[in-house]
Structure 1
Amino acid sequence: MSVRIALLLSALLYLQTTFAQETQRIYLSGTDKDHTINWDFYCSGGRKSGQWTTIPVPSNWEQQGFGSYNYGHDKIKADEKGSYRYRFEAPANWQQQQVNLVFDGVMTDADVKINGRVAGAIHQGGFYRFSYDISKLLHKGSNLLEVTVSKMSANASVNRAERNGDFWVLGGIYRPVYLEVKPRVHINRLAINATAKGDFTVQVFTNNLPAGYTISAQVFSFDGKPVQEAVIANEKAYTTLPDERLYTLQQQVARPRTWSAEFPHRYQAVIQVKNGSLVVHSVTQPFGFRTIAVRPRDGIYVNGVRVLLKGVNRHSAWPETGRTLSKDISILDVNLMKEMNMNAVRMSHYPPDEHFLDVCDSLGLFVLDELTGWQAAYDTVTGRRLVKELVVRDVNHPSVIFWDNGNEGGFNRALDGDYALYDPQQRPVLHPWERYSGIDTKHYPDYNYIVNSSLYDQQDILMPTEFMHGLYDGGMGAGLQDFWARISQHPRGGGGFLWVLADEGLVRTDKDGWIDTDGNHAPDGIVGPHREKEGSFYAIKDTWSPVQISLPVITAAFNGRIPVENCYDYTSLSQCGFRWQLLRLPSPGKDNRADTINAGYITAPALAPHTKGFLQLAHPRDWEQADVLYITVTDPYGREILQKSWPLRSPAPPAATANGQQVTAMVSGDTLNVTAGNARYAFSRTSGQLMHIVANGRVVPLSNGPVLAGVTQTLQQFSHSPGDSGYIVTARYEGNGFLQVKWTIKAGVPAQLDYSYGVKGETPFTGITFNYPENMVKGMAWIGEGPYRVWKNRLQGQQFGSWFKTYNNTVTGESWEYPEFKGYHAQVRRATFYTTSNPVTFYIGNEGTFLQVFRPQSPKGAGNNYTAPAFPDGDIGFMSAISPIGTKFQEAARMGPESQGNLMLNYTPVSGRIWIDAGM
């Protein structure tokens, strides 16, 4: 046997001994939304009420077809009660054990009985773990568990704090139910404080230990290797309750690998109760070495490094199952946050499933853990009990760095000191929405507030716990770059939290599966109810990337030198990967796959965190044959954190060649018909505009253009004549500004349109437009940035390439087929509309042109027009300036420089050229 194998077997034997006598967890319910167990159930009111049947546990009973639906803002709410029954077996050896019955979450009041006897006090509070010692209530063999759940609480403060909140009101045993079976002499709970310097302290709460029993603690690496020798409690235990004792054990770990959102290193503590050498009870607790400090008038420090929290708020919700989730959903959500380069999450407005915190621990997210209290607080007696339940459950998660004592005025200030009673780390307590603990957490500040805070507020750290409200398509990525630039430069910036991760849409089992967001109350997400990604997802990813590349364009003078900034807190740039690709783009179509003609890697310099430098890309072979350069950046774990693209060619005209056929013109009443080969262009002599095109015998109804978008003008001159370069049609308009139009029409060649215009003053958009019947359009392929639409204040995150999408009429947050078809698209060079008539292709001759595709439908639930930006009256437009979008609470103009209107101080002409191919 090799020495290595012998050591491995020895370690396994040691671990089997060390981790023996651990608490057994025996589930009476299922473990999550996908693994349930049926219990007997009776609902007192609403659907399927008045009869005993069965229901999956865990679940919210509304999602199983029982009871009634309410949102927290409803003034009158259903008050059903649910009666549950479940039989389970208790073996004889449990009579020598302690058996606890544990509920991870019940909405809202829970009255629990075992074998007809009350297990303990009715529990009030829907988001918290609670338990009962049922050892003396059990029978050998069959036992009956009965739970009566009241959806509305008998405690008025619980209803105010929870049931009247800005979220769905649901009922039921929605998180798992299980038994904890442990020895009569045992560990009740642990509370660990492990600092970045290696100081390890664990508070061990036990029941009364007989004489001769000892408590020991030992630190292991996460894969089970001992780090230090065990330390034994050698001090007198403190009495906390009549039947509970507290032991404090301490030791020093040399040079621990610290936990952070970038490097979430974890350890395990093994705490044992021994009788001599016999292990009576053992508890294994994951933890991390890390230190949190709020330095007044400075910032937030983790392990001695100042950090900016790039966070989002998160509801615990899934459309089909309400608040009954799974670890898979926790992993999905945390990975979505990490994909957006977030390093933090706020629990809004209640504690999450514990597996969500486990995932935050393992993948690396800083967490604000929150006591429920949406604009109203628990009474002090109830609040103190729930604070304890919150902190005792979550105290050992290294991801948790703050406690939130309610939200937006839902602060019972008498509870502020209670968190420290159960938290040896003494994490700071926040009041989200106000200034507290030296941190300004103001909700929904406008841009000027951020600027003024950075200039004049010499006291508090700025960290809004809700900002960039994401109702419909507003906020989130829109305006974030301006806000983040000011927060990053703020001398006391602490970061901020976007509102919110996902639209809280609920499948209505009483309305044929319709997903309900309660009007404009819940469609606030960066992603949809099933985590469908909106355009802001990619803008946030780009803005919050810990690696920033600041190369706006690539010109002929490009020498491969690329400015780069390392915005990480702990990671060297050399730990990241940089891959480049040269791509040749196909013609726009449904098959839009680009060809990689060359690719390679860039060796990153060893830039320290928060420093700037350069990447060096050697001009590879085939450079001249490429259409676009991509650079993709990955983090030390191989996760993509940034992708940038640069077009390498100027816009080009179509490749068609004139066939020499004669071009003729004929006037019929108000109509000028110009025929070139198999195409005929009809113009109105009264308006000077294109009326339609007939190509290959099919009418292409591209009409009423070009017009100067958003400006009323009058035709001043219209002329047409043959010319050396084809048949020429010109028109000039004047009014509020001017528009000059020149058409050049040849046989066998797309029609060429040259235009110039000038406007003065502030406008939401500028450009030219045409009309085209929306009901005839089936899809669009284009070369430009995509695949999502953009706003003036949300240009980040899209890539230059060849794209295709089918027609949809998605209203962001009210339906979830993404990317949305309608809207503005950036840097478009060519676009083909597939229709029920001929396809229509536009070639665009100017860099920086935005393509307007119809007008997005305004959300039905919008209370104002802040999230419905202005659009031209035309259907297809070629724009040099586009409109920004606002948020639920703020019009765009209050959101920073990128969100202002488009201001022209004089009539400086804007010129452009497009070619139109109507399927000749």
Structure 2
Amino acid sequence: MSHSYIEEIDPGTGALPPRAFFTSDAASLSLNGTWDFRLDEGDWGTITVPGHWQLQGHGSPAYTNVRYPFPVEPPFVPSENPTGDHRLTFDLPADWPDEPAVLRFDGIDSCGRIWLNDVELGITRGSRLPTEFEVGHLLRPSGNVLVVRVHQWSSGSYLEDQDMWWMSGIFRAVSLLSRPRGGVADYQIHASYDHVTGLGTLEVAGAMVTVPELEVHDLLPGRSFSLPVEPWSAENPRLYDGVVHTDVERVPVRIGFRTVAIEDGVLTINGARVVFRGVNRHEHHPEFGRAVPREFALADVLLMKQHNVNAVRTSHYPPDPYFLELCDEYGLWVIDECDLETHGFEKLDWAGNPSDDPRWAESYVDRMRRMVERDKNHPSIVLWSLGNESHTGRNLSAMAEWTRDRDPSRPVHYEGDFDCEYVDVYSRMYASHEEVDQIGQDKTHGMPFVLCEFAHAMGNGPGGMLEYRELFERYPTVQGGFIWEWIDHGLERDGHFAYGGDFGEPLHDGNFVIDGLVFPDRTPSPGLLEFAKVFEPVRITGTGQHIRIASLYDHGSLDHLRFDWVYEADGIEVASGALDVPAVAAGQHADVPLPELTAATGEGWLTVRASLAEATSWADAGHVVAWGQISLARANTVTPISGVELVGLGDVLWLGPGEFDPATGLLTRLGEYPVEGPRLDLWRAPTDNDRGSDQPEERAWREAGLHRLQHRVIEVDVRETALVVRTRVAPPSWAFGMLADYHWTADGNRLRLHLDVTPDGDWPCALPRLGLRMALPAALDTVEWFGAGPGEAYADSRQTARIGRFSSTVDALQTPYVFPQENGNRANARWLRIGDLRIEGEPVFDFTARRWTSEDLDAARHTDDLKPRDHVYLNLDLAQHGLGTASCGPGVLPQHRLHAQKASFAVTFAPPA
């Protein structure tokens, strides 16, 4: 059966052999800009290249994670195949040389057919890979007409099912490059480092190389030269500027000396074991999609460096080449991943999967070849990855074999090879802490172990990063991993960020594309701040009379850091100074005496910060890299209320500053403020992680009816100096519940509530939260507290919260997760002042304050669904259930689960007199 070129299985036609990406002093012309465009032979208009047509008014994006949005019958695609014609007329510069030239496309999604001046050049496949065509003989001084017909679907779509928006077009740069006769056709730099001798060895293939700083001049191809150098690492990305050249062309290069090896099952770089504190990075921008402007690629790298990220897996395709230049310059270990994923075949038990079909072999190897040849000269790339979630088969094995033969200097990665038949590292995604522990003990496969994806950063979370870090430190062969993922792929639309289904897609995976450590506009989420703290490269702890400063760097010392301390009593600074820390080598520690402090009343905390002594390329001097807190003085106890006020009787009950409803026992007024509550609250708006997994917490909570609890008043007991309200709180249609006894006492202008809760019956599930909820006047919109902060914190994601005194507004307490959910919890508050109402804990409580209810938050699907009400809703919690990462990974660890059990809780309210 014949079929069109769109459905051919070959890698494309007409292209030149792949080569390294480089710029040179040869003439070049960018063809980016405004092109003529029409979709499906409609009317001609214009479009911006690079760009996606779906984001410029033509059709709509669609999101699926695994499922192909078309019938699976490879290599065939639907006849209804959106097709965009792109046309550009351009002139050559007056001084354009009469030399060979190539037309370069850095990315066309998914298949392009190209003509220049009415001559067909060929067909492209491999959307996120470069293609070059020889065009020198076709060029004219003016009026050149370049036409590119791009099809949304092609046979290549079966290899590009990469958990992202389906969007089409010429989305990376288009360039015309003069290729002078006798110029640099291609080159490969070999720059290894011997950590024993300190010598770097330089060799280049394809042309001569000159490195003035090393006094290397005109080193001939195939000749090697060894000399003392500073090695390149993610911690100290030392680059030597050089030139690869012939008599007619000069190519500027940046050379980093480093050696990747595997020794006794441990991955080493420059002789030292490395731990990947990494992220998976899709290319995304909320307005431009995968056509990411350079300044945003730079923003990604700067944010990563500032938050202690040291590694990137380029999921699930090679990035724009500029991103790899940034990784070389700023220092990030990179797993460069091929443009390959066939995940949708999993739904068919992998029947028909191209990975083991010999007809697809050349397409598989071609994709690997184009990546490796393009990116081979980057020191930041330390592993090659064959792709993602494509099961296994002979074509993947062929890719690995070709790669090892072409570049033996880097190990090969691929998570899908569970038996490790053709890879050099054992890789898994979302393995539980327990399983990682076992892999570390067993040294499974005798290889380095890497979690290529872990700690799914969807919505509020991820929880459990600390416990993963402990495993990375416990076992030498367990060498870190890559958080899924870097950025939420939200698209700007109608005042919010859109996700799957928002464009009317009949088949979609909802907000599963919103799973990053930064929001779509690149604002860091609480998850990124937690990552920065958990994986900080310096650990600062107290050991009796000393402060322990431990280095977790793989290579560098702490010489670039300065250490300062602040001593606070009850959150107020009483002393500060610099800490003199001796030299500490990578992996070592020093114990430094505590500073001499004069006694101060109140709860005392010493905070020690490690910050950059001088500005770097990625942060200013003073940027905090790591910090630790040491408790030096215990808290003062709250003055107890023994119950000296008399309970007043009448149309209302009153006790001190509180007025109560005599029928329900509910507090209705507190001083001058009308209030509703407080009463027992067990519900939270489920997080993405609550909603995830095969047995989601949310389902159990809703089946148990925890989102619609009913309160029955058993007794309102008026005593002489106390008010006792006994209630039973339970869901409809079930027999289990919670007995909640409120014991109110007063003293002058203070009103104390002691709450006792006792489970009644057999509880079928964990609790979302355990605490109190009340409604306050909307005017109480400022917040100050002494406790953990400044940001949100939960049971298994609270390392970044420090003890101090913080202030905020109610609005600023909210975390605007793209898909609204539980957020904004502040932990371990000793006291809270909301407006001029003070609340004290015995000893501490958690709190959230927001202008909408948990039910409003639960019902919302986008941030602009949340409309402020005329109250502030305040939760005062004894505890909340942990977060986990069950949206794609393990759930909440046992120690962070909140069970129904007997508990007591007390707070004191002090309204203004």
1:915 aligns with 2:908: yes
2:585 to 590, 601, 608: 608
**1:657 CA displacement:** 13
1:469 aligns with 2:463: no
Deviations 1:242-284 (A, max 9, x none): xxxxxx23221x221101111111113322223xxxxx22222
1:419 is matched with 403
1:168 to 146, 165, 168: 165
Comparing 698-707 and 486-495, the one that deviates more: 698-707
**1:875 CA displacement:** 6.3
1:82 aligns with 2:84: yes
CA distance in 2, matches of 1:857, 1:173: 42
CA distance in 2, matches of 1:850, 1:776: 22
Q: In the alignment, is the contact (CA less than 8 A) between 2:86 and 2:148 conserved in 1? A: yes
* Distance change in 2, residues 1:913/1:421 (3 Å): same
2:775 is matched with 772
1:291 is matched with 259
Q: Over alpha carbons, which structure has the higher Rg?
A: 1
Q: In the alignment, is the contact (CA less than 8 A) between 1:693 and 1:918 conserved in 2? A: no
**1:93 CA displacement:** 5.3
* Distance change in 2, residues 1:742/1:649 (3 Å): farther
1:690 aligns with 2:675: no
**1:501 CA displacement:** 0.7
Residues 634-645 of structure 1: matches in 2 within 5 Å? 634-635=611-612, 637=616, 638=621, 639-645=623-629
**1:290 CA displacement:** 0.2
2:223 is matched with 249
2:879 is matched with 881
1:805 is matched with 809
**1:363 CA displacement:** 1.0
**1:317 CA displacement:** 0.6
Q: In the alignment, is the contact (CA less than 8 A) between 1:258 and 1:303 conserved in 2? A: yes
1:44 aligns with 2:40: yes
* Distance change in 2, residues 1:859/1:613 (3 Å): farther
1:212 is matched with none
CA distance in 2, matches of 1:121, 1:822: 52
Q: In the alignment, is the contact (CA less than 8 A) between 2:773 and 2:874 conserved in 1? A: yes
1:845 aligns with 2:842: yes
1:409 is matched with 390
* Distance change in 2, residues 1:764/1:573 (3 Å): farther
Comparing 55-64 and 457-466, the one that deviates more: 457-466
1:268 aligns with 2:241: yes
Counterpart amino acid of residue 28 in structure 2:
R
1:230 to 218, 242, 262: 218
* Distance change in 2, residues 1:829/1:694 (3 Å): closer
* Distance change in 2, residues 1:781/1:432 (3 Å): farther
Deviations 1:870-891 (A, max 9, x none): xxxx964544433112324568
CA distance in 1, matches of 2:750, 2:209: 80
1:441 is matched with 427
Q: In the alignment, is the contact (CA less than 8 A) between 1:435 and 1:441 conserved in 2? A: no
| CA root-mean-square deviation | 3.8
CA distance in 1, matches of 2:499, 2:771: 39
Counterpart amino acid of residue 295 in structure 1:
E
* Distance change in 2, residues 1:514/1:534 (3 Å): closer
1:105 to 104, 107, 125: 107
Q: In the alignment, is the contact (CA less than 8 A) between 1:20 and 1:281 conserved in 2? A: no
Q: TM-score, normalised to structure 2's length?
A: 0.79
* Distance change in 2, residues 1:537/1:499 (3 Å): same
1:505 is matched with 490
1:65 aligns with 2:57: yes
Q: Partner of 1:843: helix, strand, or coil? A: strand
Q: Partner of 1:829: helix, strand, or coil? A: strand
1:451 to 424, 429, 437: 437
**1:399 CA displacement:** 0.6
* Distance change in 2, residues 1:460/1:889 (3 Å): farther
1:729 aligns with 2:723: yes
Q: In the alignment, is the contact (CA less than 8 A) between 1:651 and 1:845 conserved in 2? A: no
2:677 is matched with 702
Deviations 1:485-525 (A, max 9, x none): 123212421211110011111235xx677522551320111
Q: In the alignment, is the contact (CA less than 8 A) between 1:583 and 1:627 conserved in 2? A: yes
Task: Determine what percentage of the aligned residue pairs are the same residue.
Answer: 22
Deviations 1:773-821 (A, max 9, x none): 69887554332212332221112101333131334896864358xxx88
CA distance in 2, matches of 1:584, 1:439: 50
CA distance in 1, matches of 2:387, 2:318: 11
Q: Partner of 1:785: helix, strand, or coil? A: strand
Q: Partner of 1:630: helix, strand, or coil? A: strand
**1:27 CA displacement:** 1.1
Counterpart amino acid of residue 37 in structure 2:
F
**1:367 CA displacement:** 0.5
1:795 aligns with 2:795: no
1:387 aligns with 2:368: yes
Deviations 1:514-562 (A, max 9, x none): 522551320111111112222221211111011112349xxxxx74x22
2:346 is matched with none
Q: Which runs of 5+ in 1 are unaligned?
A: 1-18, 30-36, 206-214, 234-247, 275-279, 553-557, 586-593, 863-873
CA distance in 2, matches of 1:766, 1:105: 48
1:667 aligns with 2:662: no
**1:310 CA displacement:** 1.1
Deviations 1:305-362 (A, max 9, x none): 0111111101101010011112211121112222221211101111111111111111
**1:740 CA displacement:** 6.3
Counterpart amino acid of residue 750 in structure 2:
P
Q: In the alignment, is the contact (CA less than 8 A) between 1:114 and 1:144 conserved in 2? A: yes
**1:95 CA displacement:** 4.9
CA distance in 2, matches of 1:494, 1:438: 13
* Distance change in 2, residues 1:21/1:768 (3 Å): closer
CA distance in 2, matches of 1:514, 1:712: 36
1:428 to 401, 406, 412: 412
* Distance change in 2, residues 1:94/1:704 (3 Å): closer
* Distance change in 2, residues 1:780/1:846 (3 Å): same
Q: TM-score, normalised to structure 1's length?
A: 0.78
1:6 is matched with none
1:337 is matched with 304
1:189 aligns with 2:186: yes
Q: In the alignment, is the contact (CA less than 8 A) between 1:627 and 1:648 conserved in 2? A: yes
Counterpart amino acid of residue 618 in structure 1:
P
CA distance in 1, matches of 2:900, 2:269: 44
Q: Partner of 1:325: helix, strand, or coil? A: coil
Deviations 1:875-918 (A, max 9, x none): 645444331123245686x55454344586xx6xx665422124
1:515 aligns with 2:508: no
**1:691 CA displacement:** 2.9
Deviations 1:805-857 (A, max 9, x none): 334896864358xxx885532110222345xxxx543122304x323556486
1:565 aligns with 2:537: no
Q: Partner of 2:371: helix, strand, or coil? A: helix
Deviations 1:726-760 (A, max 9, x none): x433467799897665433234x221334566779
Comparing 738-747 and 490-499, the one that deviates more: 738-747
Q: In the alignment, is the contact (CA less than 8 A) between 1:446 and 1:890 conserved in 2? A: no
1:535 is matched with 526
2:515 to 521, 524, 529: 524
* Distance change in 2, residues 1:113/1:919 (3 Å): same
1:357 to 320, 324, 346: 324
Q: Partner of 1:320: helix, strand, or coil? A: coil
Q: Partner of 2:839: helix, strand, or coil? A: strand
Q: In the alignment, is the contact (CA less than 8 A) between 2:113 and 2:124 conserved in 1? A: yes
1:781 is matched with 784
Q: In the alignment, is the contact (CA less than 8 A) between 1:317 and 1:324 conserved in 2? A: yes
Q: In the alignment, is the contact (CA less than 8 A) between 1:706 and 1:770 conserved in 2? A: yes
**1:565 CA displacement:** 2.0
CA distance in 1, matches of 2:170, 2:612: 40
